[in-house]
């Protein structure tokens, strides 16, 4: 079974940094693009960014709202993907989901359970 487990969430002050991890199993991680999404409390879904497989250069792309502040990296030897969040703002508060990109299109075929991030002083 495909499993994705996020960790690293918590309470952080504005302007500080936080790194989320997503530990995966049950699929060929090295060949998979991975995506991060988030959901503010009581709000809808928002795409954060993705990282391609190293076969496609491991390139990344981000939503405008986080570009320049967030980074995504991957460790294929551990089947883990990371979301590094810097200069955090109150608007970054929410549940962050790690997902595996579908083999067929840009959809997110498998989701983790999410990890909560609260940015507050």
Partner 1 sequence: QAVLTQPPSASGTPGQRVTISCSGSSSNIETNSVNWYQQLPGSAPTLLIYSTNQRPSGVPDRFSASKSGTSASLAISGLQPEDEADYYCASWDDSRSNPGYVFGAGTTVTVL
Q: Rule CB under 8 A: is residue 69 a binding residue for partner 1? A: no
Nearer to partner 1, 104 or 121 (CB): 104
For residue 98, what are its two tokens? 């790690």
Which region among 15-23, 72-80, 82-90, 110-118 touches partner 1 (by CB under 8 A)? 110-118
Cβ proximity to partner 1: between 102 and 118 the closer is 102
Q: Does 106 bind partner 1 (CB under 8 A)?
A: yes
SS3 at position 96: strand
Is residue 38 a contact residue for partner 1 (CB under 8 A)? no
Region of 105 please: left (phi>0), alpha (psi -120 to 50) or beta: beta
Q: Can you tell me the distance from the alpha carbon of 29 to that of 76, in angstroms, rounded to the nearest whole number? A: 7
Contact 48, 88 (CB under 8 A): no
Q: Work out which of 23, 86, 102, 118 binds partner 1, going by CB under 8 A.
A: 102
**What is the 3-state composition of the chain as percent helix, strand, coil, each rounded to the nearest 5?**
5, 50, 40
The residue ranges that bind partner 1 (CB under 8 A) are 35, 37, 44-47, 50, 61, 63-64, 97, 102, 104-114
């Amino acid at each position: 079974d495909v499993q994705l487990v996020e960790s690293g969430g918590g309470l952080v002050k504005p302007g500080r940094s936080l790194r989320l991890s997503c530990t995966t199993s049950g699929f060929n991680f090295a060949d998979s693009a991975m995506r991060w999404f988030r959901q503010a409390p009581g709000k809808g879904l928002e795409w954060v960014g993705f990282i391609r497989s190293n076969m496609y250069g491991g390139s990344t792309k981000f939503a405008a709202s986080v570009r320049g502040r967030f980074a995504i990296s991957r460790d294929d030897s551990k089947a883990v993907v990371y979301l590094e969040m810097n200069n955090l703002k109150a608007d970054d508060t929410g549940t962050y989901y790690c997902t595996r990109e579908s083999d067929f299109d840009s959809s997110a075929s498998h989701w983790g359970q999410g990890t909560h991030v609260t940015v507050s002083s």
